[in-house]
Chains A and B, each alone.
Chain A
Amino acid sequence: MSYSDRIKGVIEGSDVAIFMKGTPSFVMCGNSDRALQALRRAGAPVTAVDVLPDPRIRQELSAISGWPTIPQVFVKGELVGGADIVEELEQSGELEQTLREKLGDGYAAARDEQTVSLV
């Protein structure tokens, strides 16, 4: 069985998706944590997917996105980048600007955070 369809479903169906090592309540990698914290500071409504339960999730995700490392952050289906880019954009204010443009001004009101399991 392939994960690709469900991975694409999360990417395309979420306002903000983060594929990470661990979950928001139990982060297993410093870079995933950096990206998650930057998203939280920007008030992003995050849908998180843990890639650790099966190595194929990561393989199939990278095949879809063309991005080799974890974490990977998507806004409205578009790859924003990994931890370095998300942090850089958050610090410059561009992350909030992008979120406002793509999700609307009130995007932060929800303060939504959910975890989706693919396994």
Chain B
Amino acid sequence: MSTQPLRELLERAFPDATELDVVDRTGGGDHFQVVVTAPSLAGLSLVEQHRRVYEALSEPLADGTIHELRIKTKGGA
């Protein structure tokens, strides 16, 4: 899978994102790193912030498209 569909899922889940990045870590289309900074994440624990990302990507996670996911989240602008 390319990074574009994942980016679209995240953009839909975090319309307020000030930073949104998806990197294919190995070039194999299944190990991804996502970075999301969004005001809507502010005040949430890291666990809750990462949960939001998992929810946004639940489909590609469940069907095995994403083999490994690294997440970096921040609340705020």
Contacts and interface: CB of A to CB of B under 8 A. Distances in A.
Q: Please determine whether chains A and B interact with each other in the same assembly.
A: yes
Contacts, number: 29
A66 B47 CA distance: 10
Contact of A80 (B47, B51, B72): B47
Nearest to B61: A68
Contacts of A79: 47
B71 A84 contact: yes
Ranked 6 nearest A-B pairs via Cβ: A85-B46, A81-B47, A84-B71, A68-B54, A84-B70, A79-B47
B69 interface: yes
Chain B at the A interface: mostly helix, strand, loop or mixed? helix
B68 A81 contact: no
8 contacts: A31-B68, A67-B47, A68-B58, A68-B61, A68-B62, A69-B54, A81-B46, A84-B70
